[in-house]
Structure 1
């Protein structure tokens, strides 16, 4: 079965145990790899709470010894889990490490909310320069059931990778995939080296980036309505809207098919119309796209790897016509096919623009990673401070969900909330019998 839930963690009370793996950094200077553009940008901000991602899932009550053994096998399978980031003075680099041991420790008193306990653990342990920057935890519930939780600093993972870890952990425990079916897979460091070996981006790509940055006065796209005072990061406010159930999503897909586009361009059409209705101008947003496409002779090379296989593009659209929106999506995906470091060098890298607006699209139904339904994988959210707006469109077997995050200011809460409600209403209307909108691109497999 595909992943059916990516939502706020629902975790019953229980005893929390964390497995602390010990590692030793390789002293060989020939092995470090320059960090990817996103890794370096992420780590350069330093150690701070909430830099991690995590996933919780049900595991058999096999005992902590078996869980530690399975985790060791995953670390041996994924070279990314045997790397750490270091600031070597002349840049942030990825160093290989060797696993030297590990032990379980009990955290919390059993009465605390395990979500709060785990957030405290991950805030400390899953930091950019931690060694290692990942942790395995288990929550043992009073009814005898167990929930495993894997947390990693974002520099080592993305949403797709979390599902890979769930799948492989269950396989290592003897579930789907077989206990012995865990051969090594390519690491994210190898992917970074492969990107660096690509030829320079063509002139028309550089020209497009120059136009994007000029339209933003040298900054990244910002949310088009007032956010109030975001001169410094504020506590986050997060709202989740259940936009469509499975039947409604199916109707929306049928409308899209009749118009000759997929769901993402349909959504872009709705977003553009909402901007018009709110007198907010054309749609402009940072648009993360995945970078897992392998070479022509091995297109799935990175499909089973763990790492931050995401690059940022920019989506721009000023038309509500579904075909024009599909073109805008294709252009954004194509723009994200080239390494960002040389492209954004004239602006000192990707500017940290206050009010930055980003749109993320994740269709879990299309991910080539299968997880048993009974594992009930759930995303575990960190709590952060922010000065920008992020909107995630998440599609599961149970429908479409919109999650928005904004700074906790009166203007941001009001304007982002109104924007999100109008988007949800527009998508519901688009899936009605007299719908006129549509969207998505054939090469978006998937956007995360």
Structure 2
């Protein structure tokens, strides 16, 4: 499983169709809106606000059957049945709707258009914050002369309804709806709670009446809103963090060029460690009593200190599935903290991560809404960590799963470290300016080199034994 970008995702040549369910009457008004949803949707209708997952289908399927299976998936997850809109007074509102079967649409292809470009156009056009619905299922049927006849599916949704964990759940549920035996034999999942069935029953209004409903993200939003207000200690810590950035969230202390306006992005994907070297790094971490994340952050901090003379400070996304019941639920279950690492000692970084996780336990709405939102400025820096081996759902390797990000104009830097059974790779997104191309690339090279150098000698010994 790899992280990639719509401009570089690998998709077969062939026929491209997309499917949307029909959104019917409102069945629930005033659905709770999370802090991150409100922030995201309030930025307005725009292309590139989505995220997606692409994977091969294990068996051939008709479009009709695939559409029926997708309808079952949408009926299972409450957030997929909701629509953002503006009320008469301009305020943001979220409503839940009855859903029914939709229709397939052929995507018109210009001569020589790449499949990825066709999918890019579909997701940019339809997976927007206030689209109705804001998600699409794309089916790619390979050309008749293709050496590989496997169909490929792309699940795309506006980010307001999903996170990376969620799109994997949607793929799992779609495969389960197509073939219940895969779930019965535990091929697709390792869930602490929840087990989808192959079909869902519906009531006369078209809303799901099945007992197999996944926990609703709206209930999670309401639960967070009911939590106690931030303590003075938490408010003081956030004040310290913002003061260190002149009132803004952390930035990467490199020359990124002129960022008075957002510019096209550069996306780099780099392999760092193979399976042997990953095992070596895990062994080294265990010897120090820390985890892989702490080892990577230590090297990231070491490179940043060496190149800039300043500590590592970054926005640090943290998932908010704080109870097992949310493990089987689709939604934007991510909050943000800040990680600060002033040492390249993994044991010190482990303590820094604990501090960041404690900070993330307090909902952000009560902290940032009085400030008018999260104070992000040009050059904002974020570090994300994903160990796919620890996710509650595992898709078979032969499905060639790819997490796909949109193509954006940016004024900041974000780096994702991704661990899988085959090793570790990173994806980094940064502004396409001459200065950033030089400075961020040098920084990435140093990070990759440091992690590879740390594991080189022990990995050679491991293979020899």
Q: TM exceeds 0.5?
A: yes
Distance 1:161 1:27 in 2: 23
Alignment correspondent of 2:192:
none
Alignment correspondent of 2:381:
357
Deviations 1:146-197 (A, max 9, x none): 1111110000111111110111110000152155376210121111011001
Name the TM-score, length of structure 1 as normaliser: 0.91
Q: Does 1:261 align with 2:290?
A: yes
Distance 1:92 1:227 in 2: 35
Change (3 A) 1:431 1:181: farther
Deviation at 1:245, TM superposition (A): 0.7
Change (3 A) 1:432 1:218: same
- The answer to whether the Cα contact below 8 Å between 1:82 and 1:99 also exists between their aligned partners in 2 is yes
Deviations 1:388-422 (A, max 9, x none): 00001011111111111111101111111111111
Deviations 1:236-266 (A, max 9, x none): 0011111111111110111111111011111
Change (3 A) 1:136 1:434: closer
Distance 1:432 1:109 in 2: 47
Deviations 1:53-82 (A, max 9, x none): 011111222100100110010011111110
Q: Is the partner of 2:304 in helix, strand or coil?
A: helix
Aligned match of 1:283 in 312, 316, 320?
A: 312
- The answer to whether the Cα contact below 8 Å between 1:58 and 1:377 also exists between their aligned partners in 2 is yes
Deviation at 1:433, TM superposition (A): 4.1
Distance 2:38 2:306 in 1: 39
Correspondence list, 1:19-418, <5 A: 19-26=19-26, 31-59=29-57, 60-88=59-87, 89=89, 91-109=91-109, 111-142=112-143, 143=146, 144-175=149-180, 176-178=182-184, 180=198, 183-294=212-323, 300-418=324-442
Structure 1 runs, 4 residues or longer, greater than 4 Å off: none
Distance 1:173 1:342 in 2: 43
Distance 2:287 2:316 in 1: 26
Distance 1:192 1:90 in 2: 22
Change (3 A) 1:254 1:103: same
Deviation at 1:27, TM superposition (A): 7.0
Q: Is the partner of 1:278 in helix, strand or coil?
A: helix
- The answer to whether the Cα contact below 8 Å between 1:261 and 1:323 also exists between their aligned partners in 2 is yes
Deviation at 1:25, TM superposition (A): 4.9
Deviations 1:274-321 (A, max 9, x none): 112102401100000000112xxxxx1110111111001000111122
Between the two proteins, the alignment pairs up a number of residues equal to: 425
Q: Does 1:6 align with 2:8?
A: no
- The answer to whether the Cα contact below 8 Å between 1:56 and 1:377 also exists between their aligned partners in 2 is yes
Distance 1:25 1:361 in 2: 40
Deviation at 1:200, TM superposition (A): 1.2
Deviation at 1:199, TM superposition (A): 1.1
Distance 1:261 1:230 in 2: 37
Q: Is the partner of 2:160 in helix, strand or coil?
A: helix
Gaps of 5+ in 2: 185-196, 201-211, 460-465
Distance 2:32 2:109 in 1: 42
Distance 1:217 1:420 in 2: 26
Deviation at 1:86, TM superposition (A): 1.9
Distance 1:427 1:112 in 2: 39
Distance 2:3 2:412 in 1: 22
Distance 1:55 1:43 in 2: 21
Deviations 1:212-257 (A, max 9, x none): 0111111010111111100100000011111111111110111111
Distance 2:26 2:242 in 1: 40
Distance 2:63 2:199 in 1: 21
Deviation at 1:21, TM superposition (A): 2.0
Greater CA deviation, 99-108 or 306-315? 99-108
Q: Is the partner of 1:129 in helix, strand or coil?
A: coil
Deviation at 1:434, TM superposition (A): 7.4
Q: C-alpha root-mean-square deviation of aligned residues, in Å?
A: 1.7
Deviation at 1:24, TM superposition (A): 2.6
Distance 1:352 1:48 in 2: 19
- The answer to whether the Cα contact below 8 Å between 2:22 and 2:100 also exists between their aligned partners in 1 is yes
Deviation at 1:352, TM superposition (A): 2.8
Alignment correspondent of 1:446:
none
- The answer to whether the Cα contact below 8 Å between 1:15 and 1:108 also exists between their aligned partners in 2 is no
Q: Does 1:421 align with 2:422?
A: no
Change (3 A) 1:25 1:52: farther
Q: Is the partner of 2:353 in helix, strand or coil?
A: helix
Greater CA deviation, 155-164 or 181-190? 181-190
Q: Is the partner of 1:209 in helix, strand or coil?
A: helix
